[in-house]
Structure 1
Amino acid sequence: MSEIQICKTCIYDSNVPSIHFDAEGVCNYCRQVESLKVQFKTGLPEGEKNLNDIIEQIKRDGKGKKYDCVIGVSGGTDSSYLLIKSLEWGLRPLAVHYDNTWNSAIATENIRKVTKALNIDLFTHVLDNRESEDLFRAFMKAGVPEFDASTDIGFVQVIRSTAAKFGIKYIIEGHSFVAEGVSPMGKNYFDGKYIQDIHKKYGTLKKLKTYPNMTFFQFMKWALVYRQKFIRPLWYLDYSKEDARKLLIEKTGWSYYGGHHLENRSAAFLHTYYNPVKFSIDNRNWSLSADVRSGQMTQQEALDIYRTPVESDPELLAYVKKRLNLSETEFEELMNGPKRNFRDFKTYKRRFERLRPLFFILAKANLVPMSFYLKYCFPLEDKK
């Protein structure tokens, strides 16, 4: 049995999908972060200047409109922080929220506090309870790791359709590859066809009337017809989540919810129980590796945390079982049932790969996220 190799500059090891180590013992994900930092001049004066140029363009293109950009909000740190920064930059944002009906009370209150304190208008799309529960049950029955994929796709579709409705060209997103890390390729894939196929096979509702799924046609329409630009300011800036939280608390009374992804119950269930227990997937290595790369903790400190089992919340498990109408026996049968992945269902993956040259051009023009191009448009080597 070969020895497990650990990256020299993070805590990703040889068990991580599609990982490679160079002659210096550094993994390809760390090198990807280094490359992105060079490309976006992250934390450098040049990066700030490039972002300022984009902001000025947003102002020019939005002249005469009530809103010049859309910011998707979840009640979490990054999106809430961007609402504050957008006003400092002189932008006129519309906050957009996708409510999958599984929000924590803290997240809901955070959204209210921040938008009220900053006097920012909020547009919310609320999913029908029955559809939300039917989608989550379907993904559990499918036995795939992406339990919460419908939320991610639904959120993006709501943001893009709302931008189109109000004639807004720019979508600002609060993601930082430096602070949040890089998710490994192959263990976390989803698209609109994937969601459609799983619901068709395992859902009970014949039609989803309020769920905003994103088809390939719609995805291309937002990019090529509406020319919506996806801007991630935190890719350009020297960003600290800790400083962002302090600013939010000071200016809006915002409250911390306890950890990454924990502002929503479906995401919390995914990360603290479903994936660790059913698939032995512990995604804490994303953010822990980011902390090691940025010098916020040593590799050994991060490994010590990562080697400590994930703690699940009994109240959260009870909530999931009740919402999904699963008995203890049914819940355990699903947790112990077959393990599948996206390769067992219909997806757009091959189409994205075939159109990689086009998506490279679109990513360079900010018409699709660069992270989409890097994660979804290349063949996956790891079949685990």
Structure 2
Amino acid sequence: MYPGNHRICTRCVMDDTAADISFDEDGVCNYCTEFLERLDQYVIPDPVERQRKLDDLVTKVKENGRGKPYDCIIGVSGGVDSSYTLIKAKQLGLRPLAVHMDSGWNAEVAANNIANLVRGLDVELYTHVIEWPEIRGLMESMFAADVRDVEVLYDNALAGVVYSQAAKYKLHYILAGSNMATEGMRMPGEWTWHKLDGRNITGISKKFGGPKIRTFPLIGTLKYAKHILLDKAHWIAFLDYIDYRKDDAIAELQRDYGYKPYAYKHYESVFTRFWQGYMLPRKFGYDKRKPHLSTLVMTGQMTRDEAIQKMGEIAYPSQRDLDADKAYFLKKMGWSEEKFEAYLSRPEVRHDAYPSEWAFFERLLGLYRKLGLKIGRVRG
């Protein structure tokens, strides 16, 4: 049974926990309606035209990489989307550098997935390691601030790493696993925060006695603008160029590379799965499975009844797995049960209650659009 006493869309599984949701006379929500409109903009249904676009992209990537050790950057997490992006890039004759950001929370299965892939594909891997005391201190600051998007740390760091590696090798193309087929439905604005708000990260850290930034690959608006305008880096949602079906991708990964899948999207990180699967719903009432599962429903990769059934279950394979992650989180962070419960019971404080460069980014984004530049989507 679908959880809670909420009004749910009759076509997907979004509900009124999203503050800006609206329903038409048939009970269909604005989220899935907007998604279908965006799907038409980003994904080319005609296979011939889609292949032509893909061939054109591959040609540009190869030309940019001529005479260089690599021709593109691919950030890998051990998840399905980034793993399949790496496979398809190699099949198309590209020479990617696989880039991984190690925050100290990698699930063992994620590390194995990455190792099997880079070995099987004969791809070089660059791993940026954030020192544990530093990332732990930044997390403690975020928790003390009671903001909704602690994961902004990891999304910011990943963007910082891939853009810096692209600049290092003078590569113009970052092929990302972001895609419309499995994550195209927008995340409600109040569930997340601007991923490139470096000032927010440093401001919160300073206010709550966090560490100085040393190994954390921070990226903010000006650094991002430099990568886009001067380095000419393009963040490409690569899987939108192919007929991407998640189940087919998993089957190929398992068959050829011994891949181990996860219960839900982004669960290759122990913290991400505990945060999204337990802490975020408990503290803020936000369940990111709703837009993720709704996307699969709208692209025909899952039925609505199947999505509703999953929403009625805990976001873990079993209660035992959830309990194990909780124990791991408490031990790794050095938290007591009392501190954990006190954190969950405190009310939310908005990100913009602290220093932020969100307004500056929005002004710059308007300028980019006037110049006709396309802005890549950093995951949320």
TM-score (norm 2): 0.90
Partner of 1:87: 90
Partner of 1:378: none
Between the aligned partners of 2:204 and 2:337, the Cα distance in structure 1 is 23
Identity %: 35
Shift of 1:225: 0.8
Alignment partner of 1:261 is 2:263: no
- Gap runs ≥5 in structure 1: 376-384
Between the aligned partners of 2:6 and 2:346, the Cα distance in structure 1 is 28
Partner of 1:369: 376
Partner of 1:343: 352
Moved more, 9-18 or 191-200: 9-18
Partner of 1:314: 323
- The question of whether the paired residues in 2 share the 8 Å contact of 1:75 and 1:107 is answered with yes
- The question of whether the paired residues in 2 share the 8 Å contact of 1:278 and 1:335 is answered with yes
Partner of 1:38: 40
Between the aligned partners of 2:243 and 2:369, the Cα distance in structure 1 is 26
- The question of whether the paired residues in 2 share the 8 Å contact of 1:136 and 1:148 is answered with no
> Structure 1, residues 168-194: CA drift from partner, whole Å, max 9, x if none?
111000012222242222320132122
Between the aligned partners of 1:371 and 1:263, the Cα distance in structure 2 is 17
Match of residue 201, structure 1, among 207, 218, 224: 207
When residues 22 and 62 of structure 1 are mapped into structure 2, their CA distance, relative to the original with a 3 A threshold, is farther
Between the aligned partners of 1:307 and 1:359, the Cα distance in structure 2 is 42
Between the aligned partners of 1:360 and 1:18, the Cα distance in structure 2 is 25
The equivalences for 1:219-368 within 5 A come to: 219-311=224-316, 313-361=322-370, 365-366=373-374, 368=375
- The question of whether the paired residues in 1 share the 8 Å contact of 2:42 and 2:180 is answered with no
Shift of 1:264: 0.5
Alignment partner of 1:60 is 2:66: no
- Gap runs ≥5 in structure 2: none
Alignment partner of 1:166 is 2:169: yes
Partner of 1:380: none
Count of residues in Structure 1 that have an aligned counterpart in Structure 2 = 368
The equivalences for 1:142-153 within 5 A come to: 142-153=145-156
| Counterpart secondary structure, 1:123 | strand
Moved more, 18-27 or 336-345: 18-27
Deviating above 6 A after TM superposition, structure 1's stretches of 4 or more consecutive aligned residues are: none
The equivalences for 1:12-23 within 5 A come to: 12-22=14-24
The equivalences for 1:185-200 within 5 A come to: 185-190=189-194, 191-200=197-206
TM-score (norm 1): 0.89
Partner of 2:124: 121
Match of residue 115, structure 2, among 103, 112, 117: 112
Moved more, 269-278 or 186-195: 186-195
Between the aligned partners of 1:361 and 1:24, the Cα distance in structure 2 is 38
Which amino acid counterpart does residue 94 of structure 2 have in structure 1?
A: L
